[in-house]
């Protein structure tokens, strides 16, 4: 949710889906200068089920939150990440990078999972863990 910019580090998310994207439906919400490059990366990685929505707000944004099962934020830096607060308000399991801002909101293994920045394998493993571990989801 938000800008498709370098700061949001969407390539880490897309890289983590390589080989497992058919197990998920991934919604990318926002617009920005990197949209074309991200769509090209999706094609080059041969990812499936990736949906680009463009900018959403109001009821359209709330609907996307409600239809989601997991919220992912691979940012390389954040201030006060409003999108994490919104995802928490919607009771979504969260995976976020362990960077300033995210780690101010997410307590690892308590109200979400934090993964090292640019660690595609850790991001993938956390995604698969949330998908399969009911205790983790409820926590």
| Whole-number pLDDT of residue 134 | 76
List, for residues 64-108, the tens digit of each pLDDT value: 999 999 999 999 999 889 999 999 999 999 999 999 999 999 999
3-class DSSP state for residue 63? helix
The CATH number given to whatever domain includes residue 120 is 3.40.50.2000
Is residue 49 situated within a structural domain? yes
Is residue 41 situated within a structural domain? yes
Is residue 1 situated within a structural domain? no
Distance CA 100, CA 56 (A): 25
> What range does the domain containing 62 cover?
6-138
* DSSP at 46: T
Is residue 34 situated within a structural domain? yes
Number of domains in the chain: 1
* DSSP at 49: S
Distance CA 122, CA 131 (A): 14
51 in Cβ contact with 28 (< 8 Å): yes
Q: What is the pTM of this model?
A: 0.90
Is residue 97 situated within a structural domain? yes
Is residue 88 situated within a structural domain? yes
Is residue 13 situated within a structural domain? yes
């Amino acid at each position: 949710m938000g800008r498709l910019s370098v700061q949001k580090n969407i390539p880490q998310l897309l890289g983590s889906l390589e080989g497992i994207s058919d197990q998920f439906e991934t919604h990318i919400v926002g617009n920005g200068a990197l949209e074309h490059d991200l769509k090209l990366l999706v094609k080059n990685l041969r990812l499936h089920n990736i949906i680009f929505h463009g900018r959403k707000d109001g009821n359209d944004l709330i609907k996307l939150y409600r239809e989601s099962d997991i919220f992912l934020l691979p940012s390389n830096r954040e201030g006060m990440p409003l999108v994490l607060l919104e995802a928490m308000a919607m009771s979504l399991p969260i995976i976020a990078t362990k960077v300033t801002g995210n780690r101010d909101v997410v307590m690892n293994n308590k109200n979400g999972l934090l993964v090292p920045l640019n660690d595609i394998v850790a991001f993938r493993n956390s995604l698969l863990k949330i998908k399969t571990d009911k205790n983790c989801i409820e926590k």
